[in-house]
Amino acid sequence: MRDTWLDDAEHPSPARAEIGERVRTRLTRNPMISRIPTGRAEMFLRHGLVTPRECAELVAKIDAGCKPSKLFSDIKASYRTSNSCNLDIYDPLVIAVTKRIDALVGLEGDTGELLQGQRYHETQRYDLHHDYFPYNKLYWPAMRVSGGQRCWTAMVYLCDVEEGGETQFPHLGVTIPPRMGTLLVWNNLNADGSPNGATLHAALPVTKGTKYIVTRWYRERKWEPRNKP
């Protein structure tokens, strides 16, 4: 018999389904938000969520703190070649942007991971991956006790990119170009709360310029990392 701590990552979940319904309803009712037309996943855009001045300030903070991006597993380093950093939770701008994203999606702030800044120079990329946690990975037990499954992803583009750097969802036929201040938000799960494999996505290589984003991932329960800042 398989352990329940493995099963609960991949099976339908009423609790996760309720989170999806709550966020879906909130985003659909917001006239400032547009839904990307795809029947296999829930995906939304909000243009102008972060102002150009705020974007520039966040870019500077990312430049100051960036280090080579980490992966959860032993996948080869070339799989993700960007640089990233968790932004200062006591910084007034980081607080303001984080709260703005929380209010838009309607999820409790304590379910969100730290706002992460990411930078992609030319040729840098993040190959195809899911944001939800697969049940069969060695890191799942640790993720389960630190807040459980990742339900929603919220990502803000901080600049336009001259060429490349799109976010591509090949199973959905969706490719999003970076546009300054635009928020892309999607449900990593199906309506029943099980992981949605169709949300497989990649950060395509930047071919000219530099790409900056901030990302916030929301868990099904309160996020409680082992090593808090």
Residue 110 falls within a domain, yes or no? yes
Residue 70 falls within a domain, yes or no? yes
Residue 202: strand pairing partners = 168
Neighbours of 173 (CB within 10 A): 10
Give pLDDT, residue 72: 63
Give pLDDT, residue 144: 93
CATH number for the domain including 41?
Answer: 2.60.120.620
**Alpha-carbon torsion angle 112, 30, 160, 86, nearest 10:** -10
Strands, E assignment, 80-158: 83-86, 116-120, 126-129, 150-157
Residue 224 falls within a domain, yes or no? no
Burial of 10 (0-12, 13-18, 19+ CB in 10 A): middle
Give pLDDT, residue 226: 66
Q: At 42, which helix (H) or strand (E)? A: none
Residue 189 falls within a domain, yes or no? yes
148 lies in which domain range?
4-219
Residue 209 falls within a domain, yes or no? yes
pLDDT tens for the 229 residues of the chain, in order: 344 444 466 788 999 999 999 999 999 999 999 999 999 999 999 999 999 999 999 999 999 999 998 776 555 556 789 999 999 999 999 999 999 999 999 999 999 999 999 999 999 999 999 999 998 888 899 999 999 999 999 999 999 999 999 999 999 999 999 999 999 999 999 999 999 999 999 999 999 999 999 999 999 999 998 654 4
- pTM for the full model? 0.93
Residue 67 falls within a domain, yes or no? yes
Residue 226 falls within a domain, yes or no? no
Give pLDDT, residue 228: 45
SS (H, E, C) 67-130: EECCCCCCCCHHHECCEEEECCCCCHHHHHHHHHHHHHHCCCHHHECCCEEEEECECCCEEEEC
The domain tally of the chain equals 1
Residue 229 falls within a domain, yes or no? no
**Which two tokens mark 31?**
């006239």
Give pLDDT, residue 136: 85
